[in-house]
Structure 1
Amino acid sequence: MRRIFLIALLFCSGLARAELPETDWLELMPKSDQKALEEMPEIDHNSPEANGTFSNKGGLKQSKGLPAVMYSSKTVASMNGKHIRLGGYPVPLETDAKGKSTLFFLVPYPGACIHVPPPPPNQLVLVRYPKGLKLDDIYTPLWVTGTLKVEKVSNDLADAAYALDAGQVRVVTDADL
């Protein structure tokens, strides 16, 4: 009996160290939004933001006149409360006294904070990470693991439809690819 217990303990501890499978960003969009994105016409990138000129509110807010799916904050209810691992790029919002980012948006592609149009709200995730992470470059891809919540977040920079309380944040390495 003791041998079975030890084998079970070793097996379970090995599973605890294994990473969760990657959650795809499209899993955060309802099927109707995915279909609308597939059918969306080309977007004109000629704007002041594309030329490097930003309004006083920042560059992640959606400009007027885009297809409706680009403003979508529709969420997938089954994702609420789910423990996930999501890959993306940081848009820092707050840092602690040591200069570590404790609050940031996670976006699906690099440069979303400076290119237009930004992702729709259901493709932006507010990450809360009290431990903080030193971010040297917003083009550095991250893995974020934690509990996802359907939570509408709005600030001067962006609107998000999800928030994630992160238990772990780490830089993506070559071994991950």
Structure 2
Amino acid sequence: MRRLYIAVLCVWSALAHAELPETDWLALMPADDQQALEAMPEITHRGPEGDGTFTSKGGLKQEPGLPAVMYSAKTVARLDGKQIRIGGYPVPLESDAHGRSTQFFLVPYPGACIHVPPPPPNQLILVRFAKGIQLDDIYTPLWVSGTLRVEKVSNDLADAAYALNAATVRVVQESDL
């Protein structure tokens, strides 16, 4: 009986520490947005951000005149309240007294905070992480796990269609790849 108890504890412990399967960024887009994205013409990087200048409100907001899919805030309702794990890059917003980021946008590719155009709102996730994480480099990829919510967030920097209350945030390791 004692062996069975120990075996059950070992299995339970392994399951408790197992990570969720990865959620792909495209899963956050409805099918019609995915099709529109695939059919979209090449976007140039002309404009104030592409020239190295930014507006007083930052450079992550969308420029007018892009294809409609680049402004899309359409979401996938079945993801609301779902536990997910997604990889991405941070755009820091708020920090605690120790300098750890407690709120940041997670974006699908590095440099989105300085890249033109930024991802559409349904490809931006506002991450809230009360524990905070030390972010030394915005080009360092992260794994973020927690409860995803369909939640429209808008601030001076960007618009997001999702928010995630993170249970864990960690740097992607080479062994993860």
Instruction: Specify every segment of 5 or more residues in structure 2 that has no aligned partner in the other structure, as ranges.
Output: none
SS in 2 for 1:23: coil
AA of the residue aligned to 1:72: S
TM-score, normalised on structure 2? 0.97
TM-score, normalised on structure 1? 0.97
SS in 2 for 1:169: strand
AA of the residue aligned to 1:56: S
1:27-72 CA-to-partner distances (Å, cap 9, x unmatched) read: 1000110000000011121111011100011111111000000000
For 1:86, the equivalent position in structure 2 comes to 86
Count of matched residue positions in the alignment of Structure 1 and Structure 2:
177
Runs of at least 4 residues off by over 3 Å? 1-6
1:15-34 CA-to-partner distances (Å, cap 9, x unmatched) read: 11111111100010001100
For 1:99, the equivalent position in structure 2 comes to 99
How far, CA to CA, are the matches of 2:141 and 2:7 in structure 1? 37
SS in 2 for 1:164: strand
Identity, % of aligned pairs? 73
RMSD: 1.1
SS in 2 for 1:151: strand
For 1:123, the equivalent position in structure 2 comes to 123
How far, CA to CA, are the matches of 1:175 and 1:5 in structure 2? 32
AA of the residue aligned to 1:113: C
Instruction: Specify every segment of 5 or more residues in structure 1 that has no aligned partner in the other structure, as ranges.
Output: none
How far, CA to CA, are the matches of 1:36 and 1:77 in structure 2? 19
Q: How far apart are residue 3 of structure 1 and its match?
A: 4.4
